[in-house]
Structure 1
Amino acid sequence: MPFVQSGRHNLHYADSHPSGPPTPTGLTFIFIHGLGSSQNYYFPVIHHLTASHRCITLDTYGAARSPFTGDQISINSIADDVLGVLDALHVTKAVLVGHSMGGLVVIELGVRYPDRVVGIVAIGPTHPSDTLVGAMNSRVGKVTEAGMEPMANTIPSAAVGSRSTPLQRAFIRELLLGQDANGYIALCGAISSARVPEYSAVHAPFLLIAGEEDKSAAMEGCQYILAHVGSQSKRMEVLSGVGHWHCIEAPEEVGRLIGSFAGELS
């Protein structure tokens, strides 16, 4: 399995075109998953891009196949890891795609490293709030007591929309069961301690993909983010009947939206 070293962290990743984009106008994308997920969250989507573009997916530190070694995790530390991966793979600029917690990460990178960012796709991005802190603290208590089983038994049904299928819910369950419980707890802490980003400092072209039935990244928070992002080129696309696991629930729609966005950037 391929790993890349970013600072102290050994991160599992996949790279569709290690030598660079396959076409002269191709871009490099890097994909950051959310809590309880992995790089495989994006595999139903990236086939829409790989004919023209390079796609790098990774398991963030403490998630899936990237081992948790006890380090504290924050949104900033995940952003630093992503930058380290780009540096290790000799990528000077990329389109950043982030889901949920990953949406916070790519926005933070847009604030801190605008010269490295071609565009940003935030899929159901998490917006810090007291409600979010309470939800993360509740998850920490359950996982501390009983491991990942309570998350796997509830989230696949509770966090999806009315269009979801049993196969999609099974995929989400498998993603959750594949997590290191201590890594998951640390990532919950990263989300609960996150501050509201300086949205106005983001100036890269910005696409926000929201789920009409998303309870985890509610429409109110998505609308707030879109309104406050400083980008001159920004828009939100809302997927009907979709909850919080957009790339699994509606992969063709998400893939086409990101592909269209790539065409605008090329």
Structure 2
Amino acid sequence: MPFISVNNHQLHYADSHPDGAPANGLTFFFIHGLGSSQNYYFPLLLYLTSQHRCITADTYGSGRSTYTDQSVSIGSIAADVIGFLDALNIPQAVVVGHSMGGLVVTLLGSEHADRVKGVVAIGPTHPSETLASVMRKRSETAAESGMESLANSIPYQATGSTASPLASSFIRELVLGQNPKGYAALCQAIANAPTIDYSAIQVPFLLIAGEEDKSASLEGCQYIFSRVSSANKKMEVLPQVGHWHCIEAPDTVGKTIAEFVKASF
């Protein structure tokens, strides 16, 4: 797994097809959520990599992309994605984002239509004062006490009723492995998320929601979905799934994305 230099920082990533997408295949770029890493997506990639190029990256300040005290925002993460595509000479990609990454991919779809082939939003968070308040408190907790208390609560409070102990263990490891300063900075990025013009999204759009998601509620997901202008859009609600969709139900998420792509391109 290599590093790439984008916008004055080093980002860690994996690329299923470094020499380019297979014939008639697409390129996917995956953006994970808060407290996560590129590894969040690995359980579902097998449904895509036989036909498509899949690039997964650790967002600046997360995972193995070292936090170096640079400012970070939803806009700067989106700029990193564009920088990534430029560096790898990729004209367009289907962008896939979970939670915080859902903010990023909807922003990309609304403001960088020339670089976005399609948008897949998994449990996307919708900016609100309630969300901002929660993120400011999380930021304070991480900065003052580190990641352990969050790692001991998030895997159990943010998952659905059928989440396995193995899923919770994986989530705990993702959260516990975060740099507290990087995590706190990303909490602030979410708290200060911009207003996104969902109506500007006109490419194929798939929204995957969790029936039991308390972090990205069905109401918020429906708000986003109803305002997307794309003539080709679909919303899939996963029963008994919470906020960590790709770990709780990787087979369902992988098949849902693969089927949508097959029908749309």
TM range (shorter): over 0.9
* CA distance in structure 1 between the aligned counterparts of 2:141 and 2:107, rounded to whole angstroms: 29
* CA distance in structure 2 between the aligned counterparts of 1:199 and 1:141, rounded to whole angstroms: 30
Question: Partner residue of 2:208?
Answer: 209
* CA distance in structure 2 between the aligned counterparts of 1:12 and 1:57, rounded to whole angstroms: 9
* Identical positions, percent: 61
Question: Partner residue of 1:6?
Answer: 6
Question: Contact (CA 8 Å) 1:9, 1:81: kept in 2 or not?
Answer: no
* CA distance in structure 2 between the aligned counterparts of 1:55 and 1:115, rounded to whole angstroms: 19
1:149 aligns with 2:137: no
Shift of 1:20: 1.0
Greater shift, 133-142 or 233-242, is seen at 133-142
Shift of 1:150: 1.1
Question: Partner residue of 2:64?
Answer: 65
* CA distance in structure 2 between the aligned counterparts of 1:49 and 1:39, rounded to whole angstroms: 15
Where in structure 2 are there 5+ consecutive unaligned residues?
A: none
Runs of 4+ displaced beyond 6 Å: none
Shift of 1:265: 3.2
Question: Contact (CA 8 Å) 2:211, 2:239: kept in 1 or not?
Answer: yes
* CA distance in structure 1 between the aligned counterparts of 2:7 and 2:221, rounded to whole angstroms: 32
Say which SS state the counterpart of residue 254 (structure 1) adopts.
helix
Question: Contact (CA 8 Å) 2:232, 2:264: kept in 1 or not?
Answer: no
* CA distance in structure 2 between the aligned counterparts of 1:45 and 1:112, rounded to whole angstroms: 28
- Over residues 116-162 of structure 1, what are the superposed CA-to-partner deviations in whole Å (9 max), with x where a residue is unaligned? 11110000001001110111011112112210011101000000000
* CA distance in structure 1 between the aligned counterparts of 2:12 and 2:175, rounded to whole angstroms: 17
* CA distance in structure 1 between the aligned counterparts of 2:36 and 2:240, rounded to whole angstroms: 21
Shift of 1:264: 2.0
Say which SS state the counterpart of residue 87 (structure 1) adopts.
helix
TM-score (normalizing by structure 2): 0.99
* CA distance in structure 1 between the aligned counterparts of 2:260 and 2:94, rounded to whole angstroms: 10
Q: Match for 1:187: what amino acid?
A: L
1:17 aligns with 2:17: yes
Shift of 1:196: 2.3
Q: Match for 1:11: what amino acid?
A: L
- Over residues 61-87 of structure 1, what are the superposed CA-to-partner deviations in whole Å (9 max), with x where a residue is unaligned? 000100111011110000000111111
Shift of 1:90: 1.0
Question: Partner residue of 1:94?
Answer: 93
Question: Partner residue of 1:184?
Answer: 183
Question: Partner residue of 1:47?
Answer: 46
Say which SS state the counterpart of residue 64 (structure 2) adopts.
coil
Say which SS state the counterpart of residue 236 (structure 1) adopts.
strand
Question: Contact (CA 8 Å) 1:119, 1:265: kept in 2 or not?
Answer: no
Where in structure 1 are there 5+ consecutive unaligned residues?
A: none
* CA distance in structure 2 between the aligned counterparts of 1:204 and 1:36, rounded to whole angstroms: 28
- Superposed CA RMSD: 0.8
Question: Partner residue of 1:74?
Answer: 73
